[in-house]
Structure formats: C-alpha cells, structure tokens
Amino acid sequence: MPAARPRLVVDACVHDAGMRTAILDYGAGNLTSVQRACAHLGCAADIVRDPSALAAADRIIFPGVGAAGAAMARLAESGLAAALRRAIAEGRPVLGICLGLQLLFEESAEDGGVACLGVLPGRVVRLEPADARCKVPHMGWNAVDFAPDEPLAQGLPDRHFYFVHSYVAQPGPGVRTIAESEHGGRFCAGVRAGSLVAVQFHPEKSGAAGLALLGRFLASA
C-alpha cells in the first residue's frame, strides 16, 4: 500500500463517514485487501455475508477472484444473489471488481457455461490474445484507457492497473464500456450502467491509481 494517498479523495471519504459500505463476502473475494484500501481512504467498510446486512448497506463493493461456477453457486445458496440484484435495481451504488464484473452479466463461458446474475446484458468469454506471446491468465500491470467523461477516472495519478484474469466481458446493448485495455488485442476493462460500475482490474492492488479510483467511487456514492 502506498505511503502517500490522494488528498482530495481521502477528504471526500472522511466527510462521508455516515455511509454504510458493504464488501460482499461470498467466498470468492480479495476481501482483506479491499477492506484495507477502504480504511486507507478513511472509509470503514464492513465485510458482509448475509442478505440482511447487504440490504442495510448504502453502497456495495462486489469483489471476486476464482471461478464463475462455484461463485454463482455460493451467491445463490446464501441468498446474496437475490439481495445484490435487489440493491442494483434500487439504484444503490455498486462497484464490481474482476470476477465481480463478470458475474453481473447474463452468462459466462467458464466452467462449460454458467448462468450469472443477469443484471447486465452480455456474456463473458475466454480471453484469446491474437499475439501468442501474451499468456493466459493475463497477470500484471496494464495501461487502461477510460472514457473521457467517466467520473471514476478524473484526477487519477496514473492510468496503469493490476489485472489477474482469463475471461473478459462482451457487454450487450445498454451497457456503457467506460474502460479498455490491451493484451494481444483490445478488451473491455470497465462498464457502467447508472449507479452500477465495474472494472476488470484490481483497484485494491493497483497502488496510488487504484486508491484514487476507489476513493472516487466512495466519494461519488
């Protein structure tokens, strides 16, 4: 975690201390790193494991690492899938991260085909770089190109973020692609639909740039 933190972003989060921030725990998230990043920004975020706690949250962070099939099974069995769909339908701010982006779509090609949350039209496919030198899974730092008017990208100290993934989203109609990156070809690195925003990279592992982006979400939410 960087020693320096973005001053304006931190101030915005500290002034917003009354907001209840939930980090969704469904057994597939990088929870501690996300919680520490929030704390670094002056935001006390709770790791929640049951639908009632999620229902009480003002804003939600939906992280994820691992496989789509097992993750969706845990979300469904715990009741968190329905609670998350409800929160999104109500317009509560949600930030999806990595697998948390992919599970928002209708289906994923992972594990032989998995029905996902279906809150966004589109599907998730295996990353297939045109350049054979680009390995899968894609792991490492990449430059990210954001839409010029995307609020989360304003004032970032850097545009390089850390990725760990083998699948990418192909958004359908009504989903705005707000970020793209490249790994043997261009791929979707971020989407937005109203107050729901999600990124393929890991802000919590992306140094000052990741903290700034996470802080922008917390402040705007």
> pLDDT of 114-129, one tens digit each?
999 999 999 999 999 9
- 3-state SS, residue 186: strand
Q: Which CATH number fits domain 7-220: 3.40.50.300, 3.10.20.30, 3.20.20.10, 3.40.50.880?
A: 3.40.50.880
pLDDT band for position 15 (50/70/90)? very low
Q: β-strands 160-165, 186-193: how paired?
A: unpaired
For 67-79, how does the pLDDT look when each residue is reduced to its tens digit (9 = 90+)? 999 999 999 999 9
> Which residue numbers are catalytic?
98, 202, 204
